[in-house]
Amino acid sequence: MIYTASNQIRLTNVSLVRLKKGKKRFEIACYKNKVLEWRSGIETDLDEVLQIPNVFLNVSKGQTAPSAELAKAFGKDKSVDDIILEILNKGELQVGEKERAAQLDRVHNEVVSIVASKLVDPRTKRVYTTGMIEKALDMLSSQAHQQGDKSASTSGGAGTPATGEDAEAKPRTKEHNWTGVVTTKSAKSQALEAMKALIAHQPIPVTRARMRLRITCSTSVLKQAVKAAKGGDAEGEQKAPGTVKDKILSYVEQVETQDVLGSEWEVVGFVEPGAFKGLSDFVGNETKGQGRVEVLDMAVTYED
């Protein structure tokens, strides 16, 4: 229940969003679940998100934030509506234990589902069940926590700092560690982190599902020699750059069809996701607008 100078306002089904600005903590009262919908773009009507369009120092006590405090913390030129939007977009959502557990479970299921649709067994090219992916991620999470406990215990003593190759190797492994799902990041970004960790550590044999592409190019460009790289990174290319056609086919892991239709050459095939940008850049730059790359399928998998 909120008390104001003139009346009582009873708020039910409330979620608080808090933002610390300067030395003060400001709060707004929102409807449950609506904050996440607003931040994800599902809900666009602010009236459907806010229980009351006020900024509070303490919602439960009905203590509204004085104008002087708002001006001091957010700036004199900022309106109450703009301050509410800043708190809504940047503030910390306060949720109960049951709600937090349900939210974590939703994000977890979404992450597992995304990962299962993007990774395959490298031998059979078939997808894994969500249960298999879940177990593999649990293995990585357990390993990461065990390593964290070990490093915490060893760092307590006066150990010798790592040098040479060992010092360089530690940061690299951290980049692809998986410690579990959190609610502060999107499911999509966490799924990408999970895939990197699975591919790096291979608790089960996995690889990214290949993309199916159609590449078309004018036949007049195909036999042109590829310019040698200016830098010294690709020595093989400098020695034998080959033709535009050779270079395009070098990106294609498996050719499905290849044909000439009039003055246009077309190839449909499978490409590793990591090679897509290089292929697109090459076709765009080398053919000078006479070639294009079309995505037919973002992730080709086989299911039983």
Q: Which amino acid is at 221?
A: V
Q: Which position has the higher pLDDT, 40 or 135?
A: 135
- Answer yes or no: is pLDDT of 295 > 50: yes
pLDDT cut 90: percent of the chain above it: 51
Write the CA distances from 82 to 14, 119, 236, integer angstroms: 21, 43, 57
Could you give the angle at which helices 97-118 and 130-155 cross, rounded to 10 degrees?
110
How confident is the model over 277-290, as pLDDT tens digits? 999 999 998 888 88
Nearest-angstrom CA–CA distance, 165 and 168: 5
Going by pLDDT thresholds of 50, 70 and 90, the confidence category of residue 113 is very high
pLDDT of 241 reads 60
Nearest-angstrom CA–CA distance, 164 and 154: 19
How confident is the model over 145-201, as pLDDT tens digits? 777 666 656 555 544 444 444 444 444 444 678 999 988 788 889 999 999 999 999
Nearest Cα to 73, choosing from 17, 19, 30?
A: 19
Nearest-angstrom CA–CA distance, 264 and 219: 5
What is the value of pTM for the model shown?
0.57
What is the separation of C-alpha 63 from the centre of its chain, rounded to a whole number of angstroms? Answer: 38
Going by pLDDT thresholds of 50, 70 and 90, the confidence category of residue 1 is very low
Nearest-angstrom CA–CA distance, 278 and 228: 15
197 in Cβ contact with 206 (< 8 Å): no
pLDDT of 160 reads 47
What region does 22 belong to: left with phi over 0, alpha with psi -120 to 50, or beta? left
Nearest Cα to 63, choosing from 21, 123, 5, 125?
A: 5
